[in-house]
Amino acid sequence: MNDPIVARSGECRVIAIDGPAAAGKGTLARRLAATLGLPYLDTGLLYRATGRRVLDAGGDPADPFTATEAARALTQTDLGRTDLRGPVADAAAAQVAAIPGVRAALLDFQRSFGPTGAVLDGRDIGTVVFPNAAVKLFVTASLPARAQRRWLELTAKGTPASLDEVTDDMRARDAMDAARTAAPLLQAPDATLIDTTDMGPDEAFSVALAKVREMLA
The 3-class SS string of 32-74 reads: HHHHHCCCEEECHHHHHHHHHHHHHCCCCCCCHHHHHHHHHCC
Q: Which stretch binds ligand CDP (CB under 6 A): 6-14, 53-61, 122-130, 201-209?
A: 122-130
Min dist CB 184 to ligand CDP, Å, is 9
Residues 124-143 binding ligand CDP (CB under 6 A) are 124
Measured distance CA(194)–CA(177) in Å, rounded: 19
User: Of 116, 140, 142, whose CA–CA distance to 130 is shortest?
Assistant: 116
Element of type H or E holding 199: none
* Complex with ligand CDP: residue 69 or 124, whichever CB lies closer: 124
**Interface mask toward ligand CDP for 48-67; x: CB under 6 A:** x-------------------
Count Cα atoms within 13 angstroms, Cβ side, for 135.
Answer: 27
Which residue of 29, 31, 41, 47 would you call a contact of ligand CDP, by CB under 6 A?
A: 47
Give CB contacts under 8 A, 24+ apart, made by 55-63: 55/88, 55/92, 61/91, 61/92, 61/95, 61/96, 62/95, 62/96, 62/98, 62/99
Q: Which stretch binds ligand CDP (CB under 6 A): 62-70, 118-126, 135-143, 203-211?
A: 118-126
* Complex with ligand CDP: residue 13 or 150, whichever CB lies closer: 150
Query: Are β-strands 118-122 and 135-140 bridged in parallel, bridged antiparallel, or unpaired?
Result: unpaired
* Complex with ligand CDP: residue 5 or 59, whichever CB lies closer: 59
Measured distance CA(214)–CA(217) in Å, rounded: 5
Which residues face 121 on adjacent strands? Answer: 17, 42
Which residue of 133, 177, 194, 212 would you call a contact of ligand CDP, by CB under 6 A?
A: 177
Measured distance CA(19)–CA(193) in Å, rounded: 9
By CB under 6 A, is residue 78 in contact with ligand CDP? no
* Complex with ligand CDP: residue 53 or 173, whichever CB lies closer: 173
Residues 91-110 binding ligand CDP (CB under 6 A) are 93-94, 97
Q: Which stretch binds ligand CDP (CB under 6 A): 40-48, 52-60, 130-138, 155-163?
A: 40-48
Name the site residues for ligand CDP (rule: CB under 6 A).
Answer: 21-22, 43-44, 47-48, 93-94, 97, 122-124, 173, 177
